[in-house]
Structure 1
Amino acid sequence: MPWSQPATVLRLMLLLMCSEFVRTGLLVSYLPLVAPGLRLTPGAVGLIFGLHYLADALAKGPVGVLTERYGLGRVLLVGALLGLAALLLLHPSPGPSAPGIVLISLVSVTWGLCYAALWPGVMAAAQHYSRPGMTSRALAVASVSVAPATLLGLLGVGQLMQRQPTLAFPVLLGAQLLALLLALSLLGLRLPRTAAPASHSATRRQNFRERWGRVGVLLPAALAQTTAPGLLATVFYPLLGRLGLHLSQLIAPVLLGVVVGLAALWAFGRLADRRHPRAALTPGLLLLALGFFMAGLPGLPDRLLLVTSLVGVAYGAFIAGWNGLVGHTLPAEYRAAAWGTVMAVESLGYAIGPVLGGVMWAAYGQAGVFWCGAGILLLVEGYYLWPGRAVMRRTQISD
C-alpha cells in the first residue's frame, strides 16, 4: 500500500466509488427512463443533470476551502445525505403526487455543491497520507480507482433498467446507504494544514501569490489535456458506425488497453517518484499524441489492438506523471482547495471537448477529431517543456 494510513484512504476511495456509481447510474441510466412517471420532460431531465454537474465543477475550489476550515468528514456526510435525498425524490411512487422540477433541481444543485468536496478530498488525503517516495503512485491509484464504479453505473444500471427495472432502485439505494455509512465513519476526518510561516504582511501576501501561482501554472495544461479525450464524447457512436464496428468488438481491445495501462501506471509511477513526474508525463503525452494520430489514419479497425495498447501505455504514464506533478506543485497549506481548483478547470475541458469534437467531426470526419486531439496534446507537451517550466522556476518549484 502506498499510504501510511490505508484504512482512511481506502474508505475514502470506497466512498467515492459508491457515490460515482450512484450518481452515474441515477442521472445517466435511471432518471431518463423513469422521467415519465415523475412527469418530467427530456428538457427537465437535462436541466437536472446539467445543474448538478455544473455545481460540482464550479464549486470544487471554494468547497475545498470549506473542508479545510470545517473538516472534510462533515462536508462528505452532508453530500451523502443529499445524494440519498435526490435518490428518494427521483423514485416514482404510486399516486398522483410527484415532486416538482423546482424541488428536484434545488436538491440536485445542493448535492452537486457538496459532492464537489469528494474528489479533491480523496486526492488531498491520498497525497497527505502517501508514504515517502510513493506520492505519484498513491495519487495515480486513487485517481483511477473510480473508473470501474462509473462504468458499472453507466452500463450495469442501464442493463438493469432494460431487463429487471424493479431491481435498479434497490441496487442504487443500497450503494447510497453504504456511502452514507462510510461518510459517517469519516465524520471526524480533518486533513492537517501546513501553516505558512508567520511574517510581515507584505511577505505573507507575496508567499500567497507564489503558492497560488503554482496552481495557475497547471491550469492551461489541465484545460487542454482534458479537452483532447472529451473530443470523442459526442462522436463515439457515429464513429463506430462509420468504421463498421459493433460495441462488442471493442471488448477485447479495451480490456487489453486497460491491462497494459495498469501495468504502465505502476511502472511509470515508480519512475515519477524516483526521478521527477515529468519523466513519466513527457513520454505519456507524446505517446498519447501518437495514439491519436494513428487512430485518425484510414484502416483503424485493422490496427485496433495496436492503438488501444499504445493508448493504454500512454495513459498509464500520463496519469502517473500528471498526478505526481500536481502533488509536487500544489501548496501544502491549501491542498484541498488547490486540488479543487485544478479539477474544476479539468471539468471545463471535458465540457469544451464534446463541442469541439462535434465541430471537427462535421467538418473533417474521423481524421479531424483524432488529429485535433493529437495537436492539442502536442501543444500541452510544448507548454510543459518551455513556458510552464519557466514559470515553475519563477514560482520556486523544484525541478
Structure 2
Amino acid sequence: MLWTRPVTMLRLLALLLLSELVRTGLLVSVLPQAAPGLGWGPAALGLVVGAHYLADGLAKGPLGWLAGRLGLGRVLALGAALGLGAVLGARLAPGPAWGALAAAVWGLGYAALWPGVMSMSQALARPGYAARALALSGVAVAPAILAGVLGVGPLMAARPETAWALLAGAQGAALLLALGGLGLRLPEANAPAGSVWRGWRRVAVLLPAAFAQTLAPGLFVPLLYPLLARLGLGLGDLLGPGLLALAGFGIGLPLAGRLADRAHPRRALGPGLLLLALTFALAAPPGLEARLLLLAPLLGLGYGAFLAGWNGLVGRVLPPAHRAAAWGTVMAVEALGFALGPVLGGLTWAAAGPGGVFALGAAVFVLAEGYYLWPGRAALRGSPQADGTV
C-alpha cells in the first residue's frame, strides 16, 4: 500500500470520485440536455457552467489555506453540503440566475477538495512512495469523470428522472462520507522561522510550466468532434487506440513513478514531456488516421511519465507548513492554462487546421521541457531553501 493510513486515503478518494461523478454528470451531461426544456439558451448554460469552474479555479489557493486552518474535514463537509444543495436546486428551482449563483457557491466549496486530497496523499505517503501516491491520487478520478459523461449522459437521454435521482443519491453519499471524516485535519508541519517566503518562491518557479503543460492538452477540448469529422472517424474507431494508450499509461506510470521516487522526479518528467512533444509532432502531418495505432501507446507512455514526474516534483517543492494552499495555487494556474487552451486551439484551427494545433501543442511541451532544463532548474537550485533533493 502506498499510504501509512490507507483507510483514510481510500475514504478521501471515494469522496473525490463521487464528487467528480456528480459534477461532471450535472454540468457536462444533465444540464446541457435539460437546458432546452428549462428555457435556457446557450448563454445561460455557459454562465452556469462557467461560474462554477471559475469559482473553483480561483478559490483553490484560499480554500486550501482555509482547510489547513479550520480542518480539512469541516471544509470538505461544507463543500459536499453545498453540492447537494446545488443538485437539488437545479432540479427543483431551475432558474438561470439561481443556477449561476448556486454553481458559483458550490465551486467555492468544491475548491478545497483537490488540494486537500493531494496534500493528504503526500503527507500520508510511505517513505519513498510519494510520487506514485500523488500520481495515483491524480488519475484515480478518471473512471468517475468518464461515468459522468458516458454513463449519465445516455441515462439522461433515456430516463431523466433516474439520472437526476442518481446525481442526488451520489452527492448524498458524498456528504455522508465527508461527515464521517468531520474531524480530519492535515498533518501539521512546522516550517523553520523565516522560511515561509522562500518556500513560496519555489512554488512560483513552478507556475509558468504548470500553465504551459495544461495549455497544450487544453487546445483540443472543443476540437475532438471536428477532428474526428476531418479524419472520417467515429468514436468507435478510437476504441483500439484508446486501449493502446491506456496500456502505455499503465506501463509508464508505475515505472516512471518508481524512477521519480528512487532517483529524482525530473528523471521521469523530462522523458515524459519529450514523448508528449514527439507524439504531437508526429500527429501534425496529414494522414494522422494511419498513425493512430503507433501514436496511441506513445501518448500513454508519455502522459504516465509526465504525471509521475510532475506530481513528484511539485510534492518536493511545496512548503510543508502551507501544503494545501500551495497545491491549490499550482492547481489554479493549471486551470487557467486549461481554460486558455480551447481559445488558442480554436484560433489555431481556423488559421492552420488540425496540423497547426498539433504543432502548437508540440511546441508548448518543448518549451516546458526547456524551462525545466534551464531557468526553472537554476531557480530551484538557487533558492535559499533548495537542497540536493530538488
- Distance in 1 between the 2:273 and 2:42 partners? 38
Please point out which of 355, 358, 362 is paired with 1:367.
355
Q: How big is the shift at 1:37?
A: 4.2
Residue deviations 1:170-212 (CA, integer Å, cap 9, x gap) = 11122111111111111111002211234xxxxx2xx222110
**Aligned-partner SS, 1:90:** helix
Please point out which of 300, 307, 310 is paired with 2:288.
300
Aligned counterpart, 1:246: 234
Q: Percent identity?
A: 60
Residue deviations 1:110-139 (CA, integer Å, cap 9, x gap) = 110010000000100000000000000000
- Distance in 1 between the 2:16 and 2:156 partners? 23
Corresponding letter in the other structure for 2:74: R
Q: Extract unaligned runs of 5+ from structure 1.
A: 93-97, 199-203
Aligned counterpart, 1:111: 106
Q: How big is the shift at 1:366?
A: 1.5
- Distance in 2 between the 1:157 and 1:219 partners? 35
Contact 1:292–1:371 under 8 Å retained in 2: yes
Contact 2:16–2:113 under 8 Å retained in 1: yes
Is residue 123 from structure 1 mapped to residue 118 from structure 2 by the alignment? yes
Contact 1:38–1:90 under 8 Å retained in 2: no
Q: How big is the shift at 1:151?
A: 1.2
- Distance in 2 between the 1:294 and 1:36 partners? 41
Correspondence list, 1:38-57, <5 A? 38-57=38-57
Contact 2:203–2:326 under 8 Å retained in 1: yes
Aligned counterpart, 2:14: 14
Please point out which of 192, 200, 207 is paired with 1:212.
200
Q: How big is the shift at 1:99?
A: 4.7
Corresponding letter in the other structure for 1:21: L
Q: How big is the shift at 1:291?
A: 0.4
Residue deviations 1:143-184 (CA, integer Å, cap 9, x gap) = 001111111101211111222223211111221111111111
Aligned counterpart, 1:89: 89
Contact 1:3–1:129 under 8 Å retained in 2: yes
- Distance in 2 between the 1:255 and 1:15 partners? 27
- Distance in 1 between the 2:256 and 2:358 partners? 25
**Aligned-partner SS, 1:173:** helix
Is residue 139 from structure 1 mapped to residue 143 from structure 2 by the alignment? no
List structure 1 runs of 4+ shifted beyond 4 angstroms: none
- Distance in 1 between the 2:42 and 2:353 partners? 29
Aligned counterpart, 1:201: none
Please point out which of 310, 314, 330 is paired with 2:318.
330
Q: How big is the shift at 1:104?
A: 2.3
Alignment length (residue pairs): 387
Aligned counterpart, 1:187: 182
Please point out which of 160, 165, 180 is paired with 1:165.
160
Q: TM-score, normalized by length of structure 2?
A: 0.97
Aligned counterpart, 1:95: none
Please point out which of 222, 238, 241 is paired with 2:210.
222
Contact 2:248–2:299 under 8 Å retained in 1: no
CA-atom RMSD in angstroms: 1.2
- Distance in 2 between the 1:124 and 1:192 partners? 9
Q: How big is the shift at 1:339?
A: 0.1
Corresponding letter in the other structure for 2:247: V
Q: TM-score, normalized by length of structure 1?
A: 0.95
Is residue 236 from structure 1 mapped to residue 224 from structure 2 by the alignment? yes
Residue deviations 1:300-345 (CA, integer Å, cap 9, x gap) = 1112111110000000000000000000111100100000000000
- Distance in 2 between the 1:239 and 1:105 partners? 31
